[in-house]
Amino acid sequence: MHYVVLGAGPAGVVAAETLRTADRAGTITLVGGEPEPPYSRMAIPYFLTGKIPAEGTHLRKAPGYYDTLGIGFRQGTAEGLDTDAKRIAFADGSHLHYDRLLIATGARPVRPPIAGLERKAVHHCWTLEDARNIVTLAEPGSHVVLMGAGFIGCIVLEALAMRGVNLTVVEMGDRMVPRMMNPTAGTMIRKWCETKGVRVLTSTRIKSLQSVAAEKSRGIFGFLRRKEAPRDSDTIDVELDTGEMLAAHLVVVCAGVKPNTDFLEGSGIRTDGGILVDRYMRTSANDVYAAGDVARGYDFSTKGHDVHAIQPTASEHGRIAALNMAGHNVQYNGSLQMNVLDTLGLISSSFGLWDGVEGGEAVEVVDHDAYRYLCLQFKDDVLVGGTAIGMTQHIGCLRGLIQAGTRLGPWKERLRRDPMRIMDAYVAHSQMA
Amino acid sequence: MQRSLNIDPGKCTGCRQCEMACSYENEKVFNPSKSRIRVFTFDAEARFVPYTCTQCAEAWCMRACPVDAIRINLGTGAKEIHNDVCVGCKVCTIACPFGTVNYNADTGKVMKCDLCEGDPACAKACPTAAITYVDANWTGLDKMRMWAAKTDSAMTAN
Ligand SMILES: Cc1cc2nc3c(=O)[nH]c(=O)nc-3n(C[C@H](O)[C@H](O)[C@H](O)COP(=O)(O)OP(=O)(O)OC[C@H]3O[C@@H](n4cnc5c(N)ncnc54)[C@H](O)[C@@H]3O)c2cc1C
Ligand code: SF4
Ligand code: SF4
């Protein structure tokens, strides 16, 4: 049996490891699309701040790790897939035959249709290569404009600010992390970032990127559109829809991602904003499975299928897919959307249906001065979602309560009076019941 | 034979010696907020519940870690944080459905019970034997394990 795992991010690596445990004899080939050992994108921000060297991002650290497990690792960019002949075609002209295939090719950043985004000194922050480029440009004091303050944008924001750059973030939504935080929480994070010296522009769009050299032709009118004079190192002028011009040495684009499914064209594998998979992680083609950011997996909360684009979901997908590939009939109960974010020391998290459900009930406590917030979302007496800011102790219990579907009974009323007792409620149910 | 922490809340008097011992053993300070075991107090019922990581088999924390900073100690079976590798991303703190990995802002890393290399300070400090370190097979961890099974997001085998 030859298993091929296409993609060497967390979904692919966990899948390859699980395949090895589940099938001692099978041949396993793990294919990465970048000239790096398998690594974790999530660790990139810590490479940017200098907390770890590039090797610190590698998913597994032991020398010869994949060899020892009998997992063959190679590089290659898939360009086509023939599901009848069970053959993958690579960009270098080579082919690979599989008996069972896992597609774990993840996602890639989108480049919005804005004039000038192809300029030098404009980078995404998605791969190790992007990170190396950013490191050389994001010098202390340099002007950096960050496009997008979604989840990934905010993580990158923290890393850039910690490098000591002069940072402006431009977000077209009306608040920071609009898809993870409600207005109260998003506004609190914004205020915090501003007190830490980051300029945050929401409900603002970047219209174009131009060359700073063009400044002269704009004369006094160009000058009037600036809040801050360009530095010698600035090469790019960022034009905002407010009319303002921001000079920058580096522009980082975090404007969303899309799944890497282009090579599936003509393969017959069904996609719709991500590869469609059933609860066994099977795609519409025989012996082809999908996992991670590329797949629309089963969502525990919504009972629908969605791309979560988070690390814990990717590794869970990888494990479930691999077990099924190796012949263990394992149905996935679905993953929970959850995120934890550190914006310059303010820690926030959100879980499940943090925005609530119809007919549900929300209880919240907010302390603007202390930057603390907790919002719990209930359906009847079951927790279905939550948002927390400034809380780092026992926070995983939110996941536990949501996924166990715990009926809180009398604790619901207590939590209504004091939501902060959520961990008490958890311990009471798990230890005293 | 691997051993595990057996907690009997019925015997706990709420003296918090375990928290002190844990914080001192691991962080060299007497500061309950730095302890990896916590005693929860339920005033209404006049009950105390010591609570920490059960080194669960599912090890959600370990599986979620992006940089391989949580590894199994083959001697004790504990899932241990390797501080030199941990980048402080906190994903393990939301992944553990028991709420037993905590972020420590002073170090920028996370903390969880590591069974003190097989000689847990909390068990030694507990004056009432509410916390004991016993053979894994016959402990009262069943309640916790049942709970773990209920929480298992990952799958139902059929
Ligand atoms: C800066 C940053 C910070 C992040 N922070 C967090 C966080 O704090 N928490 C969190 O939960 N998530 C975070 N994420 C998201 C997380 O990294 C992803 O959800 C996760 O990497 C998804 O794993 P995956 O294995 O599905 O895909 P990926 O990690 O994207 O791996 C895809 C693999 O497929 C390969 N590949 C792609 N196309 C092809 C092809 N055609 N042929 C062959 N190989 C191919 C790639 O080279 C790569 O090896 C962050 C991401 C970034 C970029
Ligand atoms: S910290 Fe949580 S997930 Fe990790 S081993 Fe302990 S109980 Fe399990
Ligand atoms: S905080 Fe440390 S141990 Fe926890 S997941 Fe992140 S890197 Fe791993």
Measured distance CA(B145)–CA(B136) in Å, rounded? 12
Q: Work out how many CB contacts closer than 8 A connect A with B.
A: 160
From chain B residues 75-114, the ones with a CB under 8 A of any chain A CB are 85, 87-91, 93-103, 105
Domain with CATH 3.30.390.30 in chain A: 345-432
CA of residue A134 relative to chain centroid, distance: 18
Which pLDDT does position A202 carry in this prediction?
Answer: 95
Query: Mutation test of ligand 1: which of A46, A151, A310 has the most ligand atoms closer than 8 Å to its C-beta?
Result: A310
What is the residue with the minimal CA distance to atom 7 of ligand 2?
A: B53
| Ligand 1, pocket residues at CB < 6 Å | A 6-12, 31-34, 41-42, 44-45, 76-78, 104-107, 125-126, 152, 155-156, 260, 263, 292-293, 309-312, 314; B 89, 91
Least confident of A216-230, A306-320, A348-362, B73-87: A216-230
Question: Which residues in B lie closer than 8 A to residue A40 (C-beta atoms)?
Answer: 66-67
The larger pLDDT score, comparing residue B31 to residue B93, is at B93
Which pLDDT does position A103 carry in this prediction?
Answer: 98
Q: Are the CB atoms for A76 and A92 separated by under 8 Å?
A: yes
* pLDDT single digits (tens) A2-17: 999 999 999 999 999 9
Q: Which fold has domain A122-253?
A: FAD/NAD(P)-binding domain (3.50.50)
The verdict on a CB contact (< 8 Å) between A331 and B156 is: yes
CA neighbor of A59 nearest in space, from A100, A22, A30, A24: A30
Which pLDDT does position A226 carry in this prediction?
Answer: 84
Residue that the structure tokens 């608040």 belong to = A175
Architecture per CATH, A2-108+257-325: 3-Layer(bba) Sandwich (3.50)
Task: Return the percentage of chain A with pLDDT > 90, whole number.
Answer: 93
**What is the rounded (10 degree) CA torsion for B112, B113, B116, B119?**
170
How far are the Cα atoms of A115, A175, A214, A223, A231 from residue A219, in angstroms, in the given order?
A: 22, 34, 9, 7, 17
CATH class of A345-432: alpha beta
User: Which pLDDT band, with edges at 50, 70 and 90, does A381 fall under?
Assistant: very high
The full set of domains in chain B, from first to last, is 1-52+115-139 (3.30.70.20), 55-112 (3.30.70.20)
Q: Is the pTM of this model over 0.90?
A: yes
Domain with CATH 3.50.50.60 in chain A: 2-108+257-325, 122-253
ipTM: 0.93
The atom of ligand 3 lying closest to the CA of B91 is 5
User: Which pLDDT band, with edges at 50, 70 and 90, does B158 fall under?
Assistant: very low
